[in-house]
Structure 1
Amino acid sequence: MFPMILFLFSLFLSSTHASEQEFCVANLKLPPTPAGYACKDPAIVTVDDFVFTGLGKAGNTSNIIKAAVTPAFVAQFPGVNGLGLSLARLDLAPGGVVPMHTHPGANEVLTVIQGSIVAGFISSANAVYYKTLKKGDTMLFPLGLLHFQINAVGVTSVALVGFSSSNPGLQILDFALFGNDLPTELISKSTFLDPAIIKKLKSVLGGTG
């Protein structure tokens, strides 16, 4: 009886090992599902699926927030599919800011590699945590919490950012309120802001209503 149990156990281990998949490079030719992208056929996977070269180049900060985020999420970096991680580069020109925003799908860790950045987040208990980060400093931003980054010096600041998801998601508070067609009256009632201020912000951020 024992030899039979041992044989079945070894058979189970071998079949489990054979069915293990070490990676699941995203097949970007197919639409994503709630569980992520389907896997590319391992026979056509190459080393380039596991290499991303975009983080070495500065982003274009000539925009209203004077900031640029270069993502290395699953859509740009298929090798991270299913691994629960991704990266990004943040460039903040002088006066640059990433407004209050959330990542509904990931925790975030930010490391300053150039310049200085004021960064912080607000907990669900409305406790505020912020600090001026210098080169080499790292800060964490828990999943789903509102947080921000602001250039703290007169030169471009740069940070590398890591996420605990291959697709962390993003919602910027200012654009969620003032960059769409949500009626001014409803925004005013739900935020206590003056309608004139709301209309002004809508005109700047592309909203209507």
Structure 2
Amino acid sequence: MPMKSLSFLATLSLLALTLQLAFAADPSPVQDFCVGVNTPANGVFVNGKFCKDPKLATVEDFFFTGLDRQRVATNALGTSVTPVFAGNLPGLNTQGIAFARVDYAINGLIPPHTHPRASEFLIVQEGTLLAGFVSSDQDGNRLFSKTLNKGDLIVFPVGLIHFHINVGRVPAVAFTAFNSQNPGLITIANTVFGSNPPINPNVLAKAFQLNPRLVMDLQNRF
């Protein structure tokens, strides 16, 4: 085959690979379902889970109950998250989606964080939330924020830092949905100040323009 043809084919192959990486997402299933199980019996390993023999699947594999029940938000931030992921709803495996209920005490906060593999819907069921996200450095780190009431919805683009806080006078409830079965979670404060082992305080002091003693105090807190 002529060298020019080989070069052209190589270029096409590289372009195809680049496009595949650029539009990467959870793989599309090639069968009706792949119910996740924790043992390899009668199954194969897909997306981090062993798949149950489809003939043994039941409706219970696709069913979750209790999202109507109020949770007590007792953590330090005043929130409680009830996840509905492939780990506790096996039928979600390979479906490319996940879900959660969030309960907020008064002033309850979901702190700034990102989901590296998913965009997110947040819809308010009860109460009033202030929610927002920040665009990337390339876009000038613009803040997009909105006060949300019952029935309101906001979208957090994939990978961007976002937050939500109860600004009402009563407890609040919201539901979130993700376009990945494993969206990932990077909580900014935990990552920066709670890394193991800790980041050199002088690095963080210079990055945040803070006194190193204050940085070490924040590291002790996280």
Classify the TM-score, shorter chain: 0.7 to 0.9
How many residue pairs match? The answer is: 185
CA distance in 2, matches of 1:33, 1:173: 32
Structure 2 counterpart of 1:183, from 174, 189, 200: 200
Letter in 2 for 1:114: E
Q: Is the 8 A contact 1:54 1:70 kept in 2?
A: no
What does the per-residue CA deviation read over 1:148-192, in whole Å, with 9 as the maximum and x for residues that have no partner? 001111211110111001111101001111223223222223332
CA distance in 2, matches of 1:179, 1:57: 32
Letter in 2 for 1:204: R
Q: Report matched runs for 1:49-198 at 5 Å.
A: 49-124=61-136, 125=139, 126-180=141-195, 181-198=198-215
Structure 2 counterpart of 1:23, from 33, 39, 64: 33
Identity of aligned residues (%): 41
Q: CA deviation at 1:200?
A: 2.4
CA distance in 1, matches of 2:50, 2:56: 14
What does the per-residue CA deviation read over 1:100-122, in whole Å, with 9 as the maximum and x for residues that have no partner? 10001111001000001000001
CA distance in 1, matches of 2:201, 2:169: 36
CA distance in 2, matches of 1:189, 1:64: 28
Q: Which residue of 1 aligns with 2:19?
A: none
Query: Could you tell me the TM-score, scaled by structure 2's length?
Result: 0.77
SS for the counterpart of 1:177 is helix
Query: Could you tell me the TM-score, scaled by structure 1's length?
Result: 0.82
* Displacement over 4 Å in runs of 4+: none
Letter in 2 for 1:72: V
Q: Is the 8 A contact 1:36 1:82 kept in 2?
A: no
Instruction: Give unpaired runs (5+ residues) of structure 2.
Output: 1-29
CA distance in 2, matches of 1:85, 1:157: 24
Instruction: Give unpaired runs (5+ residues) of structure 1.
Output: 1-19
